[in-house]
Structure 1
Amino acid sequence: MITLRPVLEVPGDEGFALWPVAQTGWFLPLDGSLSPAEIGSAVMAVAKACSPRAAEGSPPPAGDQVEAFLHGMLTAQRVSAFGGLSLEDSLTGVSVDPGCCLALGEWRGWFGLLEGTGAYLGHSPSPGSELVDGVVRMTADTEEADSPTLDVPVADLRRLLAGVERDLTDFVGAVSDWAAHHAPSRASDVVAVLARALDVPVPSPS
């Protein structure tokens, strides 16, 4: 069975105590079924990546440690949630993971694979794609001569990409409940920022 999942890079959480976080691998798959601690890890990862890019002239609020930690994410002009899409064949064990320096919010670039125009998939590893007779052949690392490949019919890949959008949309919906509990004063802002960073619609207020 071939699966395609949106995954977020999650750095180490040593010493982090603003809210509960989970022990995750380097890549955390995102969907609506994540536990509150896993959602906490995801929000922590995005906020950590944004912390140096807070808006100039807008210092973090004094006295509120949670809002101070989220300040960079909430004020940055552009928020990047690093990660990408992970393709895996459970029967063969072959997987194609995103490379470095890739934002998960660029996931819609995969639609270019359906047309044969390709997409940037990161580096080190450097995944690649080729469209041949209605089949997208994905290579795990184009820099390796014997890198494994995985073939996905165009129709199947289109269906899998629709599933990616559902997963990300459901994740943002789950963040809404999480933020209402852990960052109530900025809950709607946290949800809106993450939705934009993941290139899915901002949910309507409940």
Structure 2
Amino acid sequence: MNGACSSEQVGLFLAQLLPDQDDTAAEPSAQEAIDATLTMEQLIAAGGLRVEEEGTGAVVVPGCCAGLENWREWAEVLRGQSPWLGHDPTPAVEVLPDRLRIWQDSEAPGGAVRVAAGFIDLQAVALPGLLREVQADLIAFLERVERWGQQHELGDRGTALVQMLDAHFHISAPLDLPEA
């Protein structure tokens, strides 16, 4: 998610925020979908932050029940705690003396710690910069949603939508990163 998303990608993101629709119900119009979104008490976007290792292409993806709304929890790694990254698989961050080891699946069946699962090592000093990049991408995405709202002539509802996304996904507030 960033400022380069197409109009279709913005629409798909917004559509996935809505609760599952009854298969027999008519698909809501874009206007109805925005109105429904604006009345929701909580926005949840399944997924979260994906970590990809440059060069090798190794990827750690969030598990089930992880959401974009919790992206800021990654800052807790700098305080020695693993953020909630979902389950099935159960990704986790192991804080080592000189680096972060990000496991794709930290548990084996029966709850035993899995030692042979795939992981990515990341220098801990790189994490603050990466989180700032994520925030910049999300801010650019908000700007893209604003343009999308203008294209769809949402007026004040488009502004309210951007404000709601910003508030629920904690996008533009300053990052709480520990001092180096």
Q: TM-score range by the shorter chain?
A: 0.7 to 0.9
How far apart are 1:183 and its partner, in Å?
A: 4.8
Counterpart code for 1:108? R
1:73 matched residue in structure 2: 37
Q: Does 1:195 align with 2:166?
A: yes
CA distance in 2 between partners of 1:200 and 1:134 (Å): 29
Counterpart code for 1:106? N
CA distance in 2 between partners of 1:66 and 1:199 (Å): 24
> C-alpha offsets along residues 54-95 of structure 1, whole Å, 9 cap, x if unaligned?
xxxxxxxxxx93332223311111111222000001312211
2:13 matched residue in structure 1: 42
CA distance in 2 between partners of 1:108 and 1:155 (Å): 16
CA distance in 2 between partners of 1:176 and 1:134 (Å): 41
The share of aligned pairs that are identical, in percent, is 29
Please give the secondary structure, in 1, of the residue aligned with 2:48.
strand
> Which consecutive residues of structure 2, in runs of 5 or more, have no partner in the other structure?
23-27, 109-113, 174-180
2:25 matched residue in structure 1: none
CA distance in 2 between partners of 1:71 and 1:51 (Å): 15
Instruction: Pick from 170, 184, 204 the counterpart of residue 140 of structure 2.
Output: 170
2:96 matched residue in structure 1: 132
Please give the secondary structure, in 2, of the residue aligned with 1:85.
coil
User: Normalization by structure 1: what TM-score?
Assistant: 0.72
Instruction: Pick from 127, 132, 141 the counterpart of residue 157 of structure 1.
Output: 127
Q: Does 1:122 align with 2:86?
A: yes
1:141 matched residue in structure 2: 105
User: Normalization by structure 2: what TM-score?
Assistant: 0.81
- Within 5 Å, which residues of 2 pair with 1:61-100? 65-100=29-64
Is the 1:100–1:122 Cα contact (8 Å) retained in structure 2? yes
Please give the secondary structure, in 1, of the residue aligned with 2:19.
helix
What number of residue pairs does the alignment pair up?
A: 161
Q: Which has the higher strand share?
A: 1
The root-mean-square deviation of aligned C-alpha atoms, in Å, is: 2.1
Please give the secondary structure, in 2, of the residue aligned with 1:143.
coil
How far apart are 1:201 and its partner, in Å?
A: 2.7
> Which consecutive residues of structure 1, in runs of 5 or more, have no partner in the other structure?
1-29, 53-63
After the TM superposition, which segments of 4 or more aligned residues of structure 1 sit over 6 Å from their partners? Answer: none
